[in-house]
Chains A and B, each alone.
Chain A
């Protein structure tokens, strides 16, 4: 690929400066939308582009916007910049290095659903990014790109940042809304979904940073152009965060449908120290473990193909595991994470992650009998399908797939 669409800072130096961004067509798309397009036309355009949410679930973005309840006002847009999935670090790079394209995406989204106030919810550790965004927002206000009566049109918009404070669960959209409302970051019951009952009880669109960073280019260059990347059902490009046992970890922007091999071998230059690749977690800690067979490595990374090898694309945070890694140790690590991050609201997740972590620790330290491996498996199965939100369901993916697919690691 010649041109980066999301990681454009890699092609254009200093694109994090407002004037440079504008020299490269920055905010033309927002101006175009506000001055020449009906809000619904923007929604239709994004629908036509086939853009799907990059936060993990891959839900069609335009369709989500169209759900915004038009009988209930005001509307809000909340951008999910919580980025806390282990192995995910793409939104951070976008916001640090290509912030205006991201902000423009938020702004176009706000216009599309006629929200006059949008929040960017950043994980608390992104403190510096938030203050940088605050400065950039102020610059935009000074430049008349944000504020009242934009471009002479009857549309006003304000952007605000809001910092989380160290809670993975706040990446779950309803927990995030609770958090902005000054409450414990615990997920809400759904339905109702945010487009009908969101922030402050009002219709709200929630999208991931990367999702929204696509939007300016879609508006500028059209849906057809966007569809020229990726696959039919998963159009566009994706930033893959590559980490773990890999020579060149980092973010790589590839069209959806690129194979694991292209990413891991082609970009990441494979596994270091002559080890062999053993497993892949394509969606961070929430992921099932894929056995790194040739077939798996040749699998296209898109929303449809990854499930065929027994995992999800999720946030596309690809963690590479080499043959020096004991899966028992890996489970202990991931379960420690989920135990720490369970919000405690629902029983299976609260108790289940605690119990599983407990068992995994014993299994990893060789203190456990085979029966405890079976028990771990059984506890994980017992959590399945009973949780209030997806965190609990995520917590069992590595366990079930690890025990099923890497039996040899569990024979003591």
Chain B
């Protein structure tokens, strides 16, 4: 149970909103749950529904609407390359296809070791530092800007090393 596993976080999240607006806590609680498993599990949705006094369906609706919540597992790191217009004008599309080529996967796929999923996303407010991507993992979201293929592969390599050590 989320509330039992993260009592402090849960409490803090609920305390952000007026006591009669428990439903407001659904988004931060979903992040909390997602940090745990990389995606929002059915069980987590049930927990959150109870905490926020909503139906499980309503919680699932939120997961479905917002693109940063996932209801299915993917790679441990989601590499999300912005290919929106401003980035694309600075070579983002090419960057993405090269990156995929190097990793031997297609956009949307996960590397065979389950480490990296590469996705194309909409503008991340890093347009002046394109090519850029964000990585999502259990540690949260990190921006990587002014990237080259080499620098991006270095980032990924560093994760691989980390994995090996762990």
Direct contact, A vs B (beta carbon within 8 Å): yes
B78 to chain A, nearest CB (A): 12
Let me know if A160 is at the binding interface, CB within 8 A: yes
A130 to chain B, nearest CB (A): 10
Count how many chain A residues have C-beta atoms less than 8 Å from C-beta atoms of the other chain: 53
Q: Which residues of B contact A162 (CB under 8 A)?
A: 16, 24, 27-28
Q: Which residue of chain B has its CB nearest to the CB of A89?
A: B125
Q: Which residue of chain A has its CB nearest to the CB of B12?
A: A134
Total A-B pairs, Cβ < 8 A: 138
A182 touches B52 (CB 8 A): yes
Which of A44-52, A80-88, A386-394 forms contacts with chain B?
Answer: A80-88
Q: In the complex, which of the residues B17, B62, B66, B127 contacts A243, with contact meaning CB atoms closer than 8 Å?
A: B127
Count how many chain B residues have C-beta atoms less than 8 Å from C-beta atoms of the other chain: 42
B27 touches A85 (CB 8 A): no
A198 to chain B, nearest CB (A): 13
Let me know if B140 is at the binding interface, CB within 8 A: yes
Let me know if A366 is at the binding interface, CB within 8 A: no
Let me know if B69 is at the binding interface, CB within 8 A: yes
Q: Which residues of A contact B122 (CB under 8 A)?
A: 84, 86, 168, 337, 340-341
Q: Which residue of chain B has its CB nearest to the CB of A248?
A: B128
Q: Which residue of chain A has its CB nearest to the CB of B128?
A: A249
Q: Which residue of chain B has its CB nearest to the CB of A250?
A: B128
Mostly, the B contact residues are mixed
Let me know if B33 is at the binding interface, CB within 8 A: no
Q: In the complex, which of the residues A127, A128, A168, A249 contacts B127, with contact meaning CB atoms closer than 8 Å?
A: A249
Contact flags A223-236 to B (C-beta < 8 A → 1, else 0):
00000000000000
B89 touches A243 (CB 8 A): yes
Q: What would 9 A/B residue contacts be, using CB atoms closer than 8 Å?
A: A89-B125, A123-B125, A164-B68, A165-B31, A167-B67, A182-B24, A184-B61, A285-B85, A337-B85
Q: Return the 6 tightest CB-CB contacts between A and B, nearest first.
A: A165-B66, A182-B23, A166-B67, A249-B128, A166-B68, A86-B123
Q: Which residues of A are interface residues toward B (Cβ below 8 A)?
A: 83-89, 91-92, 117, 123-128, 160, 162-168, 179-185, 200, 241-245, 249-251, 285, 317, 319-321, 325, 330, 333-334, 337, 340-341, 343
